[in-house]
Amino acid sequence: MSYFQAVRLYSLVEVCIFTGLIVTAVGGFSEQAETVLGWTHGFGWIFLCLLVARGCARKVFPWWLLGATVSPLGPVGSSAGIEYLARRGRPLTSLNEVSRD
């Protein structure tokens, strides 16, 4: 799996966690679930930002994707940007190629 594909998948997982947090918070279902989802999303989003920043530094991603990731849109912004790049036909760099730099 390439670095691009791994971050793409992780970004989608983070969107699912974020969606679960919103549904739980708005629906008022469980305070404990809201707390767990909140902490999971918080640390997950920070990790996603670090992954995208590393990808930008290694020229896997353009720098505007980091801006979309750290924006209030968070994982939604990064997922939208990554999907845009994937559909545009951006060449994918493998993990081995990235770690050699």
Residue-wise pLDDT for 10-25, tens only, equals: 999 999 999 999 999 9
- The band of 94, judged by pLDDT with boundaries at 50, 70 and 90, is very low
Q: pLDDT for 57-67, tens place per residue?
A: 999 999 999 99
Q: Where are the domains of the chain?
A: 3-100
59 vs 97 pLDDT, higher one? 59
What are the tokens at 16?
């699912």
Question: To 5 degrees, how large is the angle CA 73–CA 74–CA 79?
Answer: 95
Q: Return phi, psi of residue 94, to 5°.
A: -75, 160
pTM of the model: 0.83
Q: What is the distance between the alpha carbons of residues 36 and 93, in angstroms, rounded to a whole number?
A: 34
- The band of 98, judged by pLDDT with boundaries at 50, 70 and 90, is very low
Whether residue 93 is predicted with pLDDT greater than 60 in this model: the reply is: no
